[in-house]
Amino acid sequence: TLRVVSAFPENQFYVKRTIEWIEKVNKEGKGVLQLNFIGGPKAIPTFEVGKAVQSGVVDIGFTTGAFYTNVMPEADILKLSETSAAEQRKNGGYDLINKIWAEKANMRYLAKVVEFTPFHLYLNKKIDKPDLTGLKIRITPVYRDFFQAMGASVMTTAPGEVYTALERGVIDGYGWPIHALFDLNWQEKTKYRVDPGFYNAEVGLVMNLTKYKALPQKARDFLDQHALAYEQQNDFWKSYNQNEAKRQAEAGIQVITFDAATNKAYVEKANEVGWAAAIKSSPQYGEALKKVLAK
């Protein structure tokens, strides 16, 4: 039996989907492989899930790259993917990722199960050009370099404090994926979303490599095959995210957008800043990853 922990709380939509997947694996894997879902951050703190997988305290972690940059800086680079997971399986990207993950983190990257999900800048003050000078923006490391490059003064707060901070004008905006706003009720205190989105949210299943290698061939194939099947459902996010955008509009969130040239420059700037930071943080693999992730 392999032990699975999640870096996201149990009640989050991502996790519910993964628990369903685990149940399916367990049903079909009787006698071959069983997964035991241990729980969320209450069992292993969010930013320790990566370390716990690396050291083998748990076997499989359900997490996103930004949560385990303390294991290796490369983890956060996956957000810059422009190619899809399916394309990366073909263009050598998936193999490269697994080479790096094995070497630096003792991990096997099983599958990417959230993608086609851009990040957006959400604001409470209107802007007419991509310039955030004088605005206070709540960030996670994902957005830090890009928003700073646009002149924002950035701050980090606990997710639980964001609602209050918005309500009280402590912050003027924040970066977040297109979906998962409603879980936190932030739509109530958000006026604008800046389109286009940038980057591509990545949430994946990573496994301790030693444990992976120790699995019998049959169990390993079974796991790979089910992980791949889970990844192949990622088109789900395309329609899901369209729906989320619709819901945001219904909740009164207006879209700020610029002219086509500015929009293009905005996304290019995000990528440029993102890759510059990525190559700086990983001189060893930054360029190589760019070849397979960027378009």
Partner 1 sequence: MLGGSTVLLFLGLPVAFSFLVINLLGALLFLGGEPGLVQLARNCIGSVASFSLTPIPLFILMGEVLFHTGLAVKVIDGVERLIRQVPGRLAVVAVVAGTVFSAISGSTIATTAMLGSLMLPVMLARGYHPTMATGPLMAIGAVDMLIPPSALTVLLGSLSGISISKLLIGGVVPGLILSVAFVVYIIARVKMNPKLAPPSNFTEYHGWAKLKPFVQYVIPLVSIFVVVVASMSAGWATPTESAAIGALFTIGLAACYRALTLRNLMQSLQGTAAISGMILFIILGATTFSQILSFSGASNGLVDLIAGAGLPPMAVIAAMMLLLVFLGLFVEQVSMMLITLPIYMPLVAKYGVDPVWFGVMFLICMQLGLLLPPHGLLLMTMKGVAPPEVRMGHIFQAVLPYIVMSLLLLALVFFIPAVAVWLPKVLV
Partner 2 sequence: MQRLEAAYARVLHALALIACALILGMTLMICADVFLRNVRIIPSMVGLAWSSEISEAMLFLITMLTAPWLLSRGQHIRVDIVLRAVPPIVGWMFEWIVDVLAFGCCAVIMYYSGRAAWASYAASSLSIKTLVTPEWWLLSVLPVSFALLTLEMVFRMRRLYLGPRTPRDDAVSTG
d(CA 116, CA 201): 7
Of 69 and 83, nearer to partner 2 (C-beta) is 69
Of 61 and 73, nearer to partner 2 (C-beta) is 73
Partner from partner 2, partner 1, none binding residue 155, C-beta < 5-8 Å depending on class: partner 2
User: Minimum distance between the CB of residue 52 and partner 1, rounded to whole angstroms?
Assistant: 6
Are the C-beta atoms of residues 238 and 150 closer than 8 Å to each other?
A: no
Interface with partner 1 includes 157 (CB under 8 A)?
yes
Partner from partner 2, partner 1, none binding residue 56, C-beta < 5-8 Å depending on class: partner 1
Note if the bond before 141 is cis, omega within 30 degrees. Answer: no
Of 31 and 160, nearer to partner 2 (C-beta) is 160
- What three-state secondary structure class fits 37? strand
- What three-state secondary structure class fits 93? helix
User: Minimum distance between the CB of residue 153 and partner 1, rounded to whole angstroms?
Assistant: 17
d(CA 13, CA 19): 10
Interface with partner 2 includes 151 (CB under 8 A)?
no
User: Minimum distance between the CB of residue 281 and partner 2, rounded to whole angstroms?
Assistant: 8
Are the C-beta atoms of residues 208 and 107 closer than 8 Å to each other?
A: yes
Element at 222 (helix H, strand E):
helix 217-231
Residue closest to 59 by CA, chosen among 113, 112, 110, 8 = 110
Q: Where on the phi/psi map is residue 174: left (φ > 0), alpha (ψ -120 to 50), or beta?
A: beta
CB atoms closer than 10 angstroms to residue 210: 14
**Phi and psi, residue 91, nearest 5°:** -85, 10
Among 20, 23, 28, 167, binds partner 1 (CB under 8 A): 167
Site string for partner 2, 41-70 (x = CB under 8 A): ----------------------------xx
User: Minimum distance between the CB of residue 67 and partner 1, rounded to whole angstroms?
Assistant: 12
Structure-block tokens of residue 64: 């996103």
Partner from partner 1, partner 2, none binding residue 69, C-beta < 5-8 Å depending on class: partner 2
Residue 32 buriedness (CB in 10 A; 0-12 / 13-18 / 19+): middle
Partner from partner 2, partner 1, none binding residue 48, C-beta < 5-8 Å depending on class: partner 1
Among 92, 134, 151, 169, binds partner 1 (CB under 8 A): 169
Residues of the shown chain interacting with partner 1 in the complex, contacts defined by CB under 8 A: 38-39, 42-45, 47-48, 51-52, 55-57, 157-158, 160-161, 164-165, 167-170
Contacts to partner 2 by CB under 8 A:
69-71, 73, 76, 134, 136, 139, 141, 144, 153-157, 170
